[in-house]
Amino acid sequence: MADPDMSSQSGGHDVELFVETPDYDLICTICQGVLRCPVRAACHHIFCKKCILQWLKRHQTCPCCRKPVNQSLIFVMFKLSKVIGRLKIKCKNKIRGCPHTLALSEQYCHSMSCLFELIPCPYQGCRAQLLRRDLDAHARHCEHWSQPCHMGCGTVLSHRTQAKHNCYRQLRHEYEARQRNHRAIAAALQRKMRRMQSTMADMKRQIGLICESLEVMDELEEVEEEDLGETSGSFSSSTSSS
C-alpha cells in the first residue's frame, strides 16, 4: 500500500520509542510510525501531515480507502496531537545509557539537557563527538580549547598558554619596576638638590669673602687718599709760599 519512496521520508515517531506499544489507531498507515502532527482527510482517515502531503504529490486518492482526497479539506487534529504528546517514551539515548522516560512532548527539552546526548565538541576546529556528560573531561584535554583570561586582560588562552599566562603577576612586576624607577629618580633629584644647595652655600661664602676684601680695599684706598691729600696740600702750600 505505501509508496516505496515513503519509507525513507518517515514523518511519524518510531514505535520502538514508546514505553507501551501505542494503540493501533495512533499509527500512520503511510509511515507506520506514531502520528506526528495528525491530520484528517474528508474520508476520516488520519495520517501524519507530512506523510499525506508527500503522498498527495503523486496520488489524488486516500491510501486507505482510495476515495478522492482534496488537499484543502484536510484538518489538523490538535486534541489528538496533545493526547499523543502525553504518551510516555524512553529517551532516544537509552542505548547510550540514559535511564529516563518522559512524555513525548518533552523530548526536545530533554535532549537539550540529556547527559547521554551525542554532541560535537564546542571548541572551534575540534571534530570530536562526545556524550554531553563527557564534555568537561574532554575540555580539560581538548587541544582546541580556548577561553579569554578570567582576569579580563583580553588574552585568549589555550591549554598550552594558560599554564604560563599570569597577567596579574606580570602587571605587578611592571608596577614594582616602575615604582623602583620613580624612587631612583626621586633620590637622584634629592642628590642634585643637595649639590646645588652646597654650591650655593659655597658661592655665598665666596661672595662674602669678596665683599669683605672689597671693604678692606675701600678702607685702604680711603687711607691712601687721605695720605695723598695731605701730601698734595703741603706741596701746594709750599709752592705758593715760595
The answer for residues whose C-beta is within 8 angstroms of residue 56's C-beta and 6 or more apart is 69, 71
DSSP 8-state assignment for residue 153? S
Q: Which is nearer to Zn ion, 82 or 183 (CB)?
A: 82
Determine the distance from the C-alpha atom of residue 222 to the mean position of all C-alpha atoms in its chain, rounded to a whole number: 93
- Specify burial of residue 92 (Cβ count, 10 A radius: 0-12, 13-18, 19+): middle
Stretch that binds Zn ion, among 12-20, 172-180, 204-212, 217-225 (CB under 5 A): 12-20
Binding track, positions 44-83, relative to Zn ion; x by CB under 5 A: -x--x--x----------x-xx------------------
Least distance (Å) between residue 190 CB and Zn ion:
37
Q: Is residue 17 involved in binding Zn ion (CB under 5 A)?
A: no
Q: Give the CA-trace dihedral at 219, 223, 225, 230, to 10 degrees.
A: 160
Residue 149 interacting with Zn ion (CB under 5 A): yes
8 Å CB contact between 12 and 28: yes
Q: Do the beta carbons of residue 84 and residue 26 sit within 8 Å?
A: yes
Q: Binding to Zn ion (CB under 5 A): which residues in 163-202? A: 167
C-alpha to C-alpha distances, 180 to 5, 33, 141, 157, 184, nearest whole angstrom: 81, 78, 41, 31, 6
The nearest distance, CB 42 to Zn ion, in angstroms, is: 8
Q: Which is nearer to Zn ion, 112 or 238 (CB)?
A: 112
128 lies in the binding site for Zn ion (CB under 5 A): yes
98 counts as binding Zn ion under rule CB under 5 A: yes
Question: Which residues is 75 bridged to in the sheet?
Answer: 40
Stretch that binds Zn ion, among 70-78, 93-101, 208-216, 217-225 (CB under 5 A): 93-101
**Interaction site with Zn ion (CB under 5 A):** 11-12, 28, 30-31, 43, 45, 48, 51, 62, 64-65, 91, 93, 98, 100, 114, 121, 123, 126, 128, 142, 149, 151, 153, 155, 167
